[in-house]
Amino acid sequence: MAEVSGDERVAAAVTAGGVRVPCDFVVAGIGIVPEVPAVTGASLEQDNGILTDERCRTSVPDIYAAGDVASQLHPLFGRVRVEHYNNAEKHGAAAARSMLGSDAPYDYLHTFWSDQYEHKIEYAGHATRWDDFVVRGSLDDGVLLGFYLSGGVVRAVVGLDRGGDPELDRDSEMAAGARLVARRATPGPGVLADERADLWSL
């Protein structure tokens, strides 16, 4: 979209090619580009954010990074930059612990949720690539758990109107799925899809 036109309210969107599309409203989706502040006298290594190790340390001694701007070397997922509320809520505390001398890595499994009108989406893990997606439940009914597998390993699980909150509902299907991710489990697609198989037993 190159521009929006209309008197007192939007009437049309104009594309970069000059096509005028009549409309009543416009929704703008704006991507996230990490804004890295200048650090006096320091040159922080960057690649899709400020590079940090497992303990939130940057390439410059005594400088730490956390939140959306940090591209962290995660002990389970490798290098990730996560832009979700749950991560922002926990990452800063992990950086503070490291500053105070803790050797513990920031190994948060990463979960997020999204309410889409009457639908609820829950997610645990981190998968940017996968070679198999296994469904437990019904795509037709839109009530399901989905498992992202890479090389047979469960890398992430998503719940659509099913499964509960993986952090708050400790006995839920989503919590069981998060446990599979944390353990790098390889239960097999058939077992994951089988409603008779208890996820906690895998």
Q: What is the DSSP string of the chain?
A: --EEE-SSS--EEE-TT--EEE-S---------------TT----BSSSEEE-TTSB-SSTT-B--GGGEEEEETTTEEE----HHHHHHHHHHHHHHHTT---------EEEEEETTEEEEEEE--S--SEEEEEEETTTTEEEEEEEETTEEEEEEEES-S--TTT-TTSHHHHHHHHHHTT----HHHHH-TTS-GGG-
Model-level pTM greater than 0.95? no
What percentage of the chain exceeds 70 in pLDDT?
96
Q: How many domains does the chain have?
A: 3
Are residues 190 and 122 part of one domain?
A: yes
Checking if the pLDDT of 41 tops 90, the result is: no
Domain enclosing residue 153, as ranges: 111-201
Are residues 84 and 134 part of one domain?
A: no
- What distance separates the 2 farthest-apart alpha carbons in the chain? 62
Are residues 59 and 19 part of one domain?
A: no
Checking if the pLDDT of 189 tops 80, the result is: yes
Residue 113 CA, chain-centre distance (Å), reads 9
Q: Are 65 and 52 in contact (CB under 8 A)?
A: yes
Q: Could you report the per-residue pLDDT of 72-115, keeping only the tens digit for each?
A: 999 999 999 999 989 989 999 999 999 999 999 999 999 999 99
Tell me which of 64, 81, 108 is where a domain ends: 108
Burial of 112 (0-12, 13-18, 19+ CB in 10 A): middle
The tokens of 176 are what?
Answer: 């069981």
Are residues 22 and 41 part of one domain?
A: no
Note the pLDDT of residue 8. Answer: 85
What's the chain's average pLDDT?
Answer: 93
Are residues 51 and 69 part of one domain?
A: yes
Q: Compute the residue count for the chain.
A: 202
Are residues 196 and 168 part of one domain?
A: yes
Are residues 92 and 123 part of one domain?
A: no
Note the pLDDT of residue 26. Answer: 83
Note the pLDDT of residue 31. Answer: 67
- Domain of 49, CATH number, reads 3.50.50.60
Q: How many CA atoms lie within 13 A of 12 on its CB side?
A: 8
Q: Could you report the per-residue pLDDT of 127-181, keeping only the tens digit for each?
A: 999 999 999 999 999 999 999 999 999 999 999 999 999 999 999 999 999 999 9
Note the pLDDT of residue 28. Answer: 74
CB neighbourhood size of 196 (10 A): 5
Spatial distance between the Cα atoms of 173 and 168, rounded to a whole number of angstroms: 12
Are residues 89 and 40 part of one domain?
A: yes
Q: Are 132 and 191 in contact (CB under 8 A)?
A: no
